[in-house]
């Protein structure tokens, strides 16, 4: 497979459950988000790559210059590389365009993919995400479902930044929901509950559209 990543793939067993692209945070790996993916969307096929960039030995999906300061050239290159991997993996494993489920650094690379390669993802759940590019391209995200879940007490991501990301994706046409939880950068049970409800709602809308056609 071109542009291959160390990864895990687990086939799905429910046709109505969308495939998930699991994207870990700094220091995680291809195993980290498998339990989260299974909890949020039982029966989904799971594609979980490991980030190729190492920061003090910890895997990430792109380089940063400081906390909250991204190497934007690397963001763009790595987002393209990951998008190519997803397209190859779809052909290899026979899955539909996935919904990205990313946490922190993984959520940021998913947001970059939405802006740079919007056709690769069917939607996204972005947990503790930031604006990945200071001058993003104009993307066509018409009606693409996106869930951004932020923490009001997050010491890493200013509330204005996550709100800017929601506005940016909405302006590009995405159907964005952006709940803000009374928590920090860490995940909580509320993240799981919100993610589960969102996935169920998106499935329902998709089934509705298919029935209408």
Catalytic residues: 104, 154, 185
- What does the alpha-carbon distance between residue 161 and residue 153 come to, in Å, rounded to a whole number? 13
Selection from 47, 5, 53, 2 nearest residue 23 by Cα: 47
Question: Dihedrals φ, ψ of 68, to 5°?
Answer: 80, 0
- Are the C-beta atoms of 128 and 151 separated by less than 8 Å? yes
Q: In the structure encoding, which two tokens stand for residue 29, read together?
A: 């790996």
Q: Which of 123, 97, 94 is nearest to 110 (CA)?
A: 123
The residues that bridge with 20 in the sheet, in sequence order, are: 46, 99
């Amino acid at each position: 497979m071109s542009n291959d990543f160390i990864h895990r793939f687990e086939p799905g067993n429910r046709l109505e459950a969308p495939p998930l692209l699991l994207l870990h945070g700094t220091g995680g790996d291809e195993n980290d988000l498998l339990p989260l993916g299974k909890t949020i969307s039982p029966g989904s096929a799971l594609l979980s790559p490991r980030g190729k960039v190492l920061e003090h030995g910890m895997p990430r999906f792109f380089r940063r210059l400081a906390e909250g300061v991204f190497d934007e050239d690397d963001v763009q290159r790595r987002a393209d590389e990951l998008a190519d991997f997803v397209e190859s993996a779809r052909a290899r494993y026979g899955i539909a365009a996935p919904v990205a489920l990313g946490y922190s650094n993984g959520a940021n690379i998913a947001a970059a993919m939405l802006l740079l390669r919007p056709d690769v993802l069917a939607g996204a759940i972005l947990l503790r995400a930031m604006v990945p590019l200071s001058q993003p391209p104009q993307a066509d995200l018409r009606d693409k479902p996106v869930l951004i879940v932020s923490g009001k007490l997050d010491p890493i991501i200013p509330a204005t930044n996550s709100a800017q990301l929601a506005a940016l994706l909405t302006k590009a046409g995405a159907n964005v929901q952006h709940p803000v939880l009374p928590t920090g950068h860490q995940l909580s049970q509320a993240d799981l509950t919100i993610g589960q409800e969102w996935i169920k709602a998106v499935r329902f809308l998709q089934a509705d559209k298919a029935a209408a056609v």
